[in-house]
Structure 1
Amino acid sequence: MTAEPVAFQLFRGAVRSALHLETRDLYEPADPDWNEWRSGHRFDPAERWAAFHNLVRETTGRGVAVRRARIVSEPINEYVRFEYDVTDPHNVAAGEQVRWLPRQQATGLLIPANDFWVFDEQTVLWNFFDGDGAWVGEERVDEPELAKACVASFDAVWGRAIPHKEYQPT
Protein backbone atom coordinates (compact mmCIF):
# COMPACT_ATOMS: atom_id res chain seq x y z
CA MET A 1 0.00 0.00 0.00
CA THR A 2 1.38 3.40 -1.03
CA ALA A 3 1.38 6.14 1.58
CA GLU A 4 -0.68 9.23 0.83
CA PRO A 5 1.44 12.14 -0.45
CA VAL A 6 2.43 14.69 2.19
CA ALA A 7 0.60 17.47 0.33
CA PHE A 8 -2.64 15.44 0.43
CA GLN A 9 -2.26 14.97 4.19
CA LEU A 10 -1.73 18.71 4.62
CA PHE A 11 -4.77 19.51 2.47
CA ARG A 12 -6.91 17.21 4.58
CA GLY A 13 -5.78 18.98 7.75
CA ALA A 14 -6.03 22.55 6.44
CA VAL A 15 -8.67 24.76 8.05
CA ARG A 16 -7.98 28.23 6.54
CA SER A 17 -5.66 28.26 3.56
CA ALA A 18 -3.44 26.40 1.12
CA LEU A 19 -1.14 28.66 -0.91
CA HIS A 20 1.08 27.50 -3.76
CA LEU A 21 3.82 29.50 -5.47
CA GLU A 22 5.25 28.21 -8.74
CA THR A 23 8.29 29.93 -10.21
CA ARG A 24 9.56 27.66 -12.99
CA ASP A 25 8.81 27.68 -16.71
CA LEU A 26 9.09 23.91 -17.04
CA TYR A 27 8.09 21.02 -14.81
CA GLU A 28 8.39 17.29 -15.33
CA PRO A 29 9.54 17.14 -18.98
CA ALA A 30 8.86 13.38 -19.06
CA ASP A 31 5.26 13.81 -17.82
CA PRO A 32 2.97 11.79 -20.12
CA ASP A 33 0.15 14.36 -19.80
CA TRP A 34 2.45 17.15 -21.00
CA ASN A 35 3.83 15.02 -23.81
CA GLU A 36 0.36 13.94 -24.96
CA TRP A 37 -0.75 17.58 -24.98
CA ARG A 38 2.33 18.47 -27.07
CA SER A 39 1.36 15.84 -29.62
CA GLY A 40 -2.12 17.36 -29.93
CA HIS A 41 -4.02 14.88 -27.76
CA ARG A 42 -6.21 16.65 -25.22
CA PHE A 43 -6.31 14.08 -22.43
CA ASP A 44 -9.03 14.10 -19.81
CA PRO A 45 -7.60 15.30 -16.48
CA ALA A 46 -10.87 14.26 -14.87
CA GLU A 47 -9.47 10.73 -15.11
CA ARG A 48 -5.81 11.28 -14.42
CA TRP A 49 -5.96 14.13 -11.93
CA ALA A 50 -9.22 13.17 -10.23
CA ALA A 51 -7.62 12.50 -6.84
CA PHE A 52 -6.09 15.97 -6.64
CA HIS A 53 -9.11 17.82 -8.05
CA ASN A 54 -11.48 15.95 -5.74
CA LEU A 55 -9.22 16.85 -2.83
CA VAL A 56 -9.31 20.53 -3.83
CA ARG A 57 -13.12 20.39 -4.10
CA GLU A 58 -13.36 18.80 -0.63
CA THR A 59 -10.92 21.35 0.79
CA THR A 60 -12.63 24.42 -0.68
CA GLY A 61 -15.97 22.89 0.32
CA ARG A 62 -14.81 23.12 3.94
CA GLY A 63 -14.18 26.84 3.42
CA VAL A 64 -10.41 26.59 2.94
CA ALA A 65 -9.04 29.09 0.41
CA VAL A 66 -6.82 27.37 -2.16
CA ARG A 67 -4.73 29.85 -4.15
CA ARG A 68 -2.00 29.25 -6.73
CA ALA A 69 0.30 31.94 -8.16
CA ARG A 70 2.54 31.28 -11.13
CA ILE A 71 5.48 33.47 -12.08
CA VAL A 72 6.14 33.02 -15.79
CA SER A 73 8.56 34.30 -18.39
CA GLU A 74 7.05 36.04 -21.40
CA PRO A 75 6.70 35.29 -24.12
CA ILE A 76 5.52 32.04 -22.55
CA ASN A 77 6.99 28.74 -23.63
CA GLU A 78 5.09 25.69 -24.75
CA TYR A 79 4.97 24.18 -21.25
CA VAL A 80 3.43 27.30 -19.70
CA ARG A 81 0.87 27.28 -22.55
CA PHE A 82 0.01 23.71 -21.50
CA GLU A 83 -0.43 24.86 -17.88
CA TYR A 84 -2.57 27.77 -19.01
CA ASP A 85 -4.76 25.55 -21.20
CA VAL A 86 -5.52 23.04 -18.44
CA THR A 87 -5.96 25.58 -15.62
CA ASP A 88 -9.50 26.81 -16.24
CA PRO A 89 -11.28 23.55 -16.95
CA HIS A 90 -9.46 21.72 -14.17
CA ASN A 91 -7.76 23.75 -11.41
CA VAL A 92 -10.27 26.61 -11.43
CA ALA A 93 -13.20 24.23 -11.90
CA ALA A 94 -12.04 22.33 -8.79
CA GLY A 95 -12.13 25.53 -6.73
CA GLU A 96 -8.58 26.89 -6.91
CA GLN A 97 -8.02 30.58 -7.42
CA VAL A 98 -5.15 30.99 -9.90
CA ARG A 99 -3.17 34.07 -10.87
CA TRP A 100 -0.28 34.67 -13.26
CA LEU A 101 2.59 37.12 -12.81
CA PRO A 102 4.84 37.90 -15.76
CA ARG A 103 8.40 37.57 -14.47
CA GLN A 104 9.27 41.14 -15.51
CA GLN A 105 6.61 42.37 -13.07
CA ALA A 106 8.15 40.40 -10.19
CA THR A 107 11.21 42.66 -10.06
CA GLY A 108 11.78 43.87 -6.53
CA LEU A 109 9.87 41.04 -4.86
CA LEU A 110 11.67 38.77 -2.41
CA ILE A 111 10.80 35.27 -3.51
CA PRO A 112 12.18 31.98 -2.11
CA ALA A 113 14.44 30.02 -4.43
CA ASN A 114 12.10 26.99 -4.42
CA ASP A 115 8.43 26.46 -5.13
CA PHE A 116 6.29 25.90 -2.07
CA TRP A 117 2.92 25.26 -0.51
CA VAL A 118 1.96 26.94 2.78
CA PHE A 119 -0.88 25.47 4.80
CA ASP A 120 -2.71 27.58 7.41
CA GLU A 121 0.25 29.98 7.70
CA GLN A 122 2.02 27.29 9.76
CA THR A 123 3.51 24.60 7.54
CA VAL A 124 5.69 24.98 4.44
CA LEU A 125 6.04 22.17 1.96
CA TRP A 126 9.05 22.91 -0.26
CA ASN A 127 9.11 21.37 -3.74
CA PHE A 128 12.50 20.64 -5.31
CA PHE A 129 13.26 20.21 -9.03
CA ASP A 130 16.43 19.52 -10.98
CA GLY A 131 17.72 21.86 -13.67
CA ASP A 132 15.57 20.23 -16.33
CA GLY A 133 12.39 20.52 -14.25
CA ALA A 134 12.09 16.96 -12.95
CA TRP A 135 10.73 16.71 -9.42
CA VAL A 136 13.41 15.48 -7.01
CA GLY A 137 11.66 15.73 -3.66
CA GLU A 138 9.98 17.78 -1.02
CA GLU A 139 10.53 18.88 2.54
CA ARG A 140 7.92 19.67 5.16
CA VAL A 141 8.91 22.41 7.59
CA ASP A 142 6.72 23.28 10.58
CA GLU A 143 8.18 26.67 11.47
CA PRO A 144 5.57 29.43 11.83
CA GLU A 145 8.12 32.23 11.25
CA LEU A 146 9.29 30.67 8.00
CA ALA A 147 5.67 30.10 6.99
CA LYS A 148 4.90 33.76 7.70
CA ALA A 149 7.79 34.84 5.46
CA CYS A 150 6.56 32.55 2.67
CA VAL A 151 3.00 33.88 3.06
CA ALA A 152 4.33 37.45 2.80
CA SER A 153 6.20 36.50 -0.38
CA PHE A 154 3.14 34.77 -1.81
CA ASP A 155 0.90 37.72 -0.94
CA ALA A 156 3.30 40.14 -2.65
CA VAL A 157 3.17 38.02 -5.82
CA TRP A 158 -0.61 37.60 -5.53
CA GLY A 159 -1.10 41.36 -5.24
CA ARG A 160 0.66 41.95 -8.57
CA ALA A 161 -0.56 38.86 -10.37
CA ILE A 162 -3.35 38.73 -12.94
CA PRO A 163 -6.41 36.52 -12.29
CA HIS A 164 -6.53 33.54 -14.62
CA LYS A 165 -9.64 34.69 -16.48
CA GLU A 166 -7.99 38.07 -17.23
CA TYR A 167 -4.48 36.88 -18.06
CA GLN A 168 -3.68 36.89 -21.77
CA PRO A 169 -0.36 35.09 -22.23
CA THR A 170 2.01 36.45 -24.82
Structure 2
Amino acid sequence: MTTITSLSDDRFRSLFRDFRKSAFRLETLQVYDVSYEREDFESFLAGQARGEVSGISGYAERVRAGTAAGKRFHRVHVVEEPLSDYVRFEAVWSYRETVAAGEDVRVIPVRRGEWPDGIPRLDYWLFDSALLVVMNYAEDGLFLSAQLSEEPDRVAEAVRWRDHALALSQPFSDYAQDFDELMRRR
Protein backbone atom coordinates (compact mmCIF):
# COMPACT_ATOMS: atom_id res chain seq x y z
CA MET A 1 0.00 0.00 0.00
CA THR A 2 1.35 3.40 -0.99
CA THR A 3 0.99 6.31 1.43
CA ILE A 4 1.14 9.95 0.34
CA THR A 5 1.48 12.69 2.94
CA SER A 6 1.08 15.84 0.81
CA LEU A 7 -1.70 16.95 -1.50
CA SER A 8 1.05 18.62 -3.55
CA ASP A 9 2.82 15.29 -4.15
CA ASP A 10 3.08 14.56 -7.88
CA ARG A 11 1.88 11.00 -7.24
CA PHE A 12 -1.37 12.39 -5.79
CA ARG A 13 -1.83 14.97 -8.55
CA SER A 14 -1.24 12.36 -11.24
CA LEU A 15 -4.29 10.40 -10.03
CA PHE A 16 -6.53 13.16 -11.41
CA ARG A 17 -4.69 13.26 -14.71
CA ASP A 18 -4.20 9.56 -15.34
CA PHE A 19 -7.58 7.95 -14.63
CA ARG A 20 -9.44 6.75 -17.71
CA LYS A 21 -13.19 6.92 -17.05
CA SER A 22 -14.40 7.95 -13.61
CA ALA A 23 -13.36 9.66 -10.42
CA PHE A 24 -15.64 9.46 -7.38
CA ARG A 25 -15.23 11.30 -4.07
CA LEU A 26 -17.06 10.58 -0.82
CA GLU A 27 -16.79 13.46 1.64
CA THR A 28 -17.94 12.93 5.21
CA LEU A 29 -16.29 15.70 7.21
CA GLN A 30 -17.99 18.98 8.04
CA VAL A 31 -14.71 20.89 8.00
CA TYR A 32 -11.52 20.48 6.00
CA ASP A 33 -8.41 22.42 6.92
CA VAL A 34 -6.74 22.73 3.54
CA SER A 35 -3.88 25.21 3.31
CA TYR A 36 -4.66 26.38 -0.24
CA GLU A 37 -8.19 27.37 0.86
CA ARG A 38 -7.38 29.03 4.18
CA GLU A 39 -7.19 32.62 2.94
CA ASP A 40 -10.31 32.22 0.80
CA PHE A 41 -12.22 30.65 3.71
CA GLU A 42 -11.31 33.63 5.91
CA SER A 43 -12.53 36.00 3.16
CA PHE A 44 -15.80 34.06 2.94
CA LEU A 45 -16.29 34.28 6.72
CA ALA A 46 -15.65 38.03 6.54
CA GLY A 47 -18.47 38.36 4.01
CA GLN A 48 -16.25 39.35 1.11
CA ALA A 49 -17.25 38.70 -2.49
CA ARG A 50 -15.85 35.59 -4.10
CA GLY A 51 -12.69 36.14 -6.08
CA GLU A 52 -10.79 33.48 -8.01
CA VAL A 53 -9.93 30.59 -5.72
CA SER A 54 -6.82 29.12 -7.32
CA GLY A 55 -7.12 25.61 -5.84
CA ILE A 56 -10.78 25.36 -6.77
CA SER A 57 -10.35 26.99 -10.19
CA GLY A 58 -7.50 24.61 -11.00
CA TYR A 59 -9.62 21.61 -10.08
CA ALA A 60 -12.60 23.00 -12.04
CA GLU A 61 -10.36 23.32 -15.09
CA ARG A 62 -9.28 19.66 -14.71
CA VAL A 63 -12.98 18.71 -14.48
CA ARG A 64 -13.80 20.77 -17.57
CA ALA A 65 -10.96 19.23 -19.59
CA GLY A 66 -11.69 15.73 -18.31
CA THR A 67 -15.40 15.87 -19.09
CA ALA A 68 -14.58 17.19 -22.57
CA ALA A 69 -12.44 14.05 -22.98
CA GLY A 70 -15.31 11.82 -21.83
CA LYS A 71 -14.28 11.35 -18.19
CA ARG A 72 -16.83 11.52 -15.36
CA PHE A 73 -16.39 13.24 -12.00
CA HIS A 74 -18.79 12.39 -9.17
CA ARG A 75 -18.84 13.61 -5.59
CA VAL A 76 -21.20 12.90 -2.69
CA HIS A 77 -20.94 14.90 0.52
CA VAL A 78 -22.86 13.89 3.64
CA VAL A 79 -23.75 17.31 5.05
CA GLU A 80 -25.03 17.84 8.56
CA GLU A 81 -27.64 20.54 9.04
CA PRO A 82 -27.43 23.20 10.14
CA LEU A 83 -24.44 23.53 7.84
CA SER A 84 -20.99 24.25 9.23
CA ASP A 85 -19.27 27.43 8.07
CA TYR A 86 -16.87 25.31 6.03
CA VAL A 87 -19.64 23.41 4.21
CA ARG A 88 -21.35 26.71 3.43
CA PHE A 89 -18.05 27.98 2.01
CA GLU A 90 -17.46 24.80 0.03
CA ALA A 91 -20.96 24.86 -1.43
CA VAL A 92 -20.94 28.52 -2.45
CA TRP A 93 -17.32 28.97 -3.51
CA SER A 94 -16.48 25.48 -4.78
CA TYR A 95 -19.44 23.29 -5.69
CA ARG A 96 -21.14 25.90 -7.82
CA GLU A 97 -17.96 26.27 -9.88
CA THR A 98 -17.19 22.58 -10.21
CA VAL A 99 -20.81 21.74 -11.12
CA ALA A 100 -20.62 24.37 -13.86
CA ALA A 101 -17.42 22.68 -15.05
CA GLY A 102 -19.16 19.30 -15.29
CA GLU A 103 -18.72 17.61 -11.92
CA ASP A 104 -21.77 15.71 -10.65
CA VAL A 105 -21.85 17.00 -7.07
CA ARG A 106 -24.48 15.44 -4.84
CA VAL A 107 -25.37 15.74 -1.16
CA ILE A 108 -26.94 13.61 1.51
CA PRO A 109 -28.35 16.07 4.07
CA VAL A 110 -28.79 14.78 7.63
CA ARG A 111 -29.53 16.39 10.96
CA ARG A 112 -26.48 17.03 13.09
CA GLY A 113 -25.69 13.88 15.08
CA GLU A 114 -27.42 11.56 12.61
CA TRP A 115 -25.78 9.51 9.86
CA PRO A 116 -27.16 7.68 6.82
CA ASP A 117 -27.27 3.89 7.12
CA GLY A 118 -24.70 2.06 5.05
CA ILE A 119 -22.44 5.08 4.52
CA PRO A 120 -19.07 4.94 6.29
CA ARG A 121 -17.53 7.92 8.05
CA LEU A 122 -14.64 7.61 5.66
CA ASP A 123 -13.38 10.02 3.03
CA TYR A 124 -12.05 8.51 -0.15
CA TRP A 125 -11.48 8.82 -3.87
CA LEU A 126 -12.23 5.91 -6.19
CA PHE A 127 -10.67 6.00 -9.64
CA ASP A 128 -12.03 3.83 -12.46
CA SER A 129 -13.65 1.54 -9.85
CA ALA A 130 -10.18 0.04 -9.50
CA LEU A 131 -8.02 2.31 -7.30
CA LEU A 132 -9.13 3.29 -3.80
CA VAL A 133 -7.51 6.33 -2.19
CA VAL A 134 -8.48 6.60 1.48
CA MET A 135 -8.12 10.19 2.68
CA ASN A 136 -7.05 10.46 6.33
CA TYR A 137 -7.69 13.64 8.33
CA ALA A 138 -7.16 14.81 11.89
CA GLU A 139 -10.23 15.65 13.96
CA ASP A 140 -9.94 19.32 12.98
CA GLY A 141 -9.97 18.43 9.25
CA LEU A 142 -6.22 18.75 8.65
CA PHE A 143 -5.06 16.38 5.90
CA LEU A 144 -2.74 13.67 7.22
CA SER A 145 -2.28 11.16 4.41
CA ALA A 146 -3.75 9.32 1.46
CA GLN A 147 -3.45 5.55 1.27
CA LEU A 148 -3.67 3.96 -2.18
CA SER A 149 -4.97 0.43 -2.57
CA GLU A 150 -5.90 -1.82 -5.45
CA GLU A 151 -6.76 -4.71 -3.11
CA PRO A 152 -9.90 -6.24 -4.69
CA ASP A 153 -11.98 -6.62 -1.50
CA ARG A 154 -11.34 -3.05 -0.36
CA VAL A 155 -12.07 -1.65 -3.82
CA ALA A 156 -15.28 -3.73 -4.10
CA GLU A 157 -16.44 -2.39 -0.73
CA ALA A 158 -15.75 1.19 -1.84
CA VAL A 159 -17.73 0.56 -5.04
CA ARG A 160 -20.71 -0.63 -2.95
CA TRP A 161 -20.46 2.46 -0.72
CA ARG A 162 -20.28 4.68 -3.82
CA ASP A 163 -23.35 3.12 -5.39
CA HIS A 164 -25.29 3.39 -2.12
CA ALA A 165 -24.22 7.02 -1.59
CA LEU A 166 -25.29 7.93 -5.12
CA ALA A 167 -28.67 6.24 -4.57
CA LEU A 168 -29.27 8.16 -1.30
CA SER A 169 -28.09 11.53 -2.56
CA GLN A 170 -29.67 14.41 -4.38
CA PRO A 171 -28.00 16.64 -6.96
CA PHE A 172 -26.38 19.71 -5.44
CA SER A 173 -28.32 21.90 -7.90
CA ASP A 174 -31.60 20.61 -6.37
CA TYR A 175 -30.30 21.08 -2.84
CA ALA A 176 -29.08 24.58 -3.74
CA GLN A 177 -32.59 25.72 -4.74
CA ASP A 178 -33.22 26.40 -1.04
CA PHE A 179 -29.61 27.25 -0.42
CA ASP A 180 -30.03 30.93 0.37
CA GLU A 181 -32.22 29.91 3.32
CA LEU A 182 -29.71 27.26 4.38
CA MET A 183 -26.92 29.81 4.22
CA ARG A 184 -28.68 31.87 6.86
CA ARG A 185 -29.21 28.90 9.21
CA ARG A 186 -26.60 28.35 11.87
TM norm structure 1: 0.87
Amino acid at match of 2:152: P
Aligned positions, number: 167
CA displacement at 1:46 relative to structure 2: 5.4
Q: Which residue of 2 aligns with 1:114?
A: 122
Gaps of 5+ in 2: 1-7
Q: Distance in 2 between matches of 1:139 and 1:130?
A: 15
Within-5 A mapping of 1:19-38: 19-28=24-33, 31-38=38-45
Deviations for 1:69-120, whole angstroms, at most 9, x for unmatched residues?
0001111122111111124531112210001101358532142x42000000
Within-5 A mapping of 1:152-167: 152-167=160-175
Q: Does 1:101 align with 2:112?
A: no
Q: Which residue of 1 aligns with 2:73?
A: 66
CA displacement at 1:151 relative to structure 2: 1.6
TM norm structure 2: 0.80
Q: Distance in 2 between matches of 1:106 and 1:155?
A: 17
Question: What CA RMSD, in Å, does the superposition of the two structures yield over aligned residues?
Answer: 2.1
Q: Does 1:86 align with 2:93?
A: yes
Q: Which residue of 1 aligns with 2:10?
A: 4
CA displacement at 1:161 relative to structure 2: 0.8
Q: Distance in 2 between matches of 1:76 and 1:101?
A: 12
Q: Judging changes above 3 Å, is the alpha-carbon distance between structure 1 residues 100 and 4 closer, same or farther for their aligned structure 2 residues?
A: same
Q: Give aligned-pair identity as a percent.
A: 26
Q: Secondary structure at the match of 2:173?
A: coil
Match of 2:140 among 122, 132, 137: 132
Q: Distance in 1 between matches of 2:72 and 2:92?
A: 22
Deviations for 1:122-163, whole angstroms, at most 9, x for unmatched residues?
101111111111111211112233122112101111111111
